[in-house]
Amino acid sequence: MNLMSLDTAVRRLAPHALPLAIVLIVLVFAIAQPAFLKPENLVGIVRQMVLVGIMAVGMTFVIMTGGVDLSVGPVLALSGLVAFFCLDAGMPVAVAIVAGASIGLAIGLVNGAIIAFLQLPPIIVTLAMLSMVRGTALILGGPDLHAIRGQDAYTFIGTGRILGIPFPIYLFLLAALIMIFVQKLTPLGLRVAAIGENERAAYLSGHRTRLTKMALYGISGLGAAIAGMIQSSQVHTAAATYGEFGIELDVIAAVVLGGTSLTGGNGSVVRTLVGILFLGVMNNGMNILNVPLDMQLIAKGFIIVLSLALSELK
């Protein structure tokens, strides 16, 4: 009898496993190291997650339709470089930003077009794109770090503060709000859910499913481009090697941890935010406790599998 009720309790709590886990981890870290709860540190947690976070909310729709975008890392690097070269050529900041964003959007749309219209597997297409974009970034930027100097407006993107809170956090929250808004309140949100649930039925309901999918990869590329410009602004440099291998896995992990299934359907931007928060708290807490990097990586992998296994308990 007792066992039965324990079982039901676990099942009932399973959907909320991640928020609960976050609370638990926060408690543990807070007790072990009270500095964890200082406002500066909490802001820091979010700031550290801005790059992965913007890419993850951008990729959520792609994953909801059963796809994936592995090309975000190099797109991040290339967009930063494109913005740098525009600034370097004396163009206004706005033009540089639009150029950087456009290149990400364009790469995403190409990904989407190939996946939707030629019906090739997303994992292969975006893997190939990862390679090609990295190559392009290296041709453009070479092996050097390109310093961004005397561009206060551009630098503000990554390092500015409003009301004491870093500007990138506003950008991240804005991106998340826009995506939540799109998902909950626009036809596109329902079209995405429809493709994830039953692409054939969506098609037979007259949805232009292939155009929709193409647009979703465009959004993912755009997210990576914005992240790329924030990063180059934060560190005052652009380089072809930014967005190093592995960052796309963090992005995917955040989305999947949030509970969006890799096979499509059943997901939301809000849940992705929870996934990002979880990763952020984990990283920060382990840093504060001086857990060595090697152990951090192992712990992270372990916890990702554990929480996924928990979420499968339905």
Interface with another protein (CB under 8 A):
185-187, 189-191, 193-194, 197-198, 200-208, 265-266
Nearer to another protein among residue 50 and residue 194 (C-beta): 194
| Nearest distance in Å: CB 58, another protein | 18
First to last CA, the chain: 20
Q: What number of CA atoms fall less than 13 Å from residue 79's CA on the CB side?
A: 31
Nearer to another protein among residue 202 and residue 215 (C-beta): 202
Nearer to another protein among residue 209 and residue 233 (C-beta): 209
The number of residues making up the chain comes to 314
Tell me the C-alpha distance between 48 and 51, whole Å: 7
| Nearest distance in Å: CB 175, another protein | 17
Q: Which amino acid is at 258?
A: G
Nearer to another protein among residue 131 and residue 186 (C-beta): 186
Nearest to 223 by CA among 187, 252, 195, 203: 252
H helix and E strand count, the chain? 14, 4
| Nearest distance in Å: CB 61, another protein | 15
| Nearest distance in Å: CB 308, another protein | 19
Residue 237 phi/psi, 5-degree rounding, is -145, 155
For residue 128, the tally of other CB atoms under 10 A from its CB is 15
Nearer to another protein among residue 145 and residue 190 (C-beta): 190
- β-strand 161-162 against 165-166: which pairing, if any? antiparallel
For residue 309, the tally of other CB atoms under 10 A from its CB is 10
| Nearest distance in Å: CB 261, another protein | 10
| Nearest distance in Å: CB 190, another protein | 6
Tell me the C-alpha distance between 104 and 226, whole Å: 8
- Report CA 196 to chain centroid distance, whole Å: 19
Nearer to another protein among residue 47 and residue 213 (C-beta): 213
Nearest to 263 by CA among 154, 75, 54, 121: 121
| Nearest distance in Å: CB 207, another protein | 7
Q: Are 236 and 170 in contact (CB under 8 A)?
A: no
Nearer to another protein among residue 23 and residue 204 (C-beta): 204
